[in-house]
Amino acid sequence: MISQVLPYLQHGDIAGALTVALGFGIAIILGISLHEFAHAIVAYRLGDLTPLRDGRVTINPLAHFDMFGTLLILLVGFGYGRPVLVNPYNFRMDRRWGMALVAVAGPITNIIIAVVFGLALRVLLGVVQNGSSAPSEGLLMVIQIFAIIVSLNITLAIFNMIPFPPLDGSKVLLALLPGEMAYRVERFYISTQQFGLIVVMILFWFAGSFIGSLIAGPTNALFTLIVGQPLY
């Protein structure tokens, strides 16, 4: 986030810096807290009381933020929330499909956030485009904030569906694979899970631009679909 704010500060644009900071701040708070809450509530509904005992069945952001993960978001633009601990053997259904439902609930929630703010943004853009006078500075700030919230939540959803642990896509993949292949992939995931986050961070650090370019296309397509005009 700091890298997005600095250019505005360097040009003396305090209002622009404040707008971007507010946009990213709101997007991160909503995106991470509701994403993790979705994991917790689905696991709880499937019969696992672990998230409830850990105090995760709440929309309170303080319950879902990891200090180091949040610091990474602020400094390098990539981070994570506090993982929701789940015991799939408590589910009232097949554990792999249960974990897939718990996992996909997070990205779906990010898409729902994007749709809510995106539809509001579509209306605001229509007001600006059809207005007879120039829009106010306040309205332009709101439009930029909403655009950041929409784009960041779409990005979070797409990024989390990458099928590599600890990302949510890895749980979804296990449910979709046939038995023997699912077992082998699960063994691989278990053997690498203690290094999974480190691997993801290293890949993002050294190949962030490449990963970003892969995510940018789907992000822009979804943004255009929701808002009615492209992000870039």
Q: Cite the active site residues.
A: 36
What secondary structure does DSSP assign to 164-224, as a single string?
A: STTSHHHHHHHHHS-HHHHHHHHHHHHHHHHHHHHHHHHHHHHHHHHHHHHHHHHHHHHHH
Cβ atoms of residues 133 and 71 within 8 Å: no
Token digits for 197?
A: 């986050």
Of the candidates 197, 137, 118, 150, which has an alpha carbon nearest to the alpha carbon of residue 15? 137
Q: Which 8-state DSSP code applies to residue 104?
A: H
The count of C-alpha atoms lying within 13 angstroms of the C-alpha of 76, restricted to the half-sphere facing its C-beta, is 13
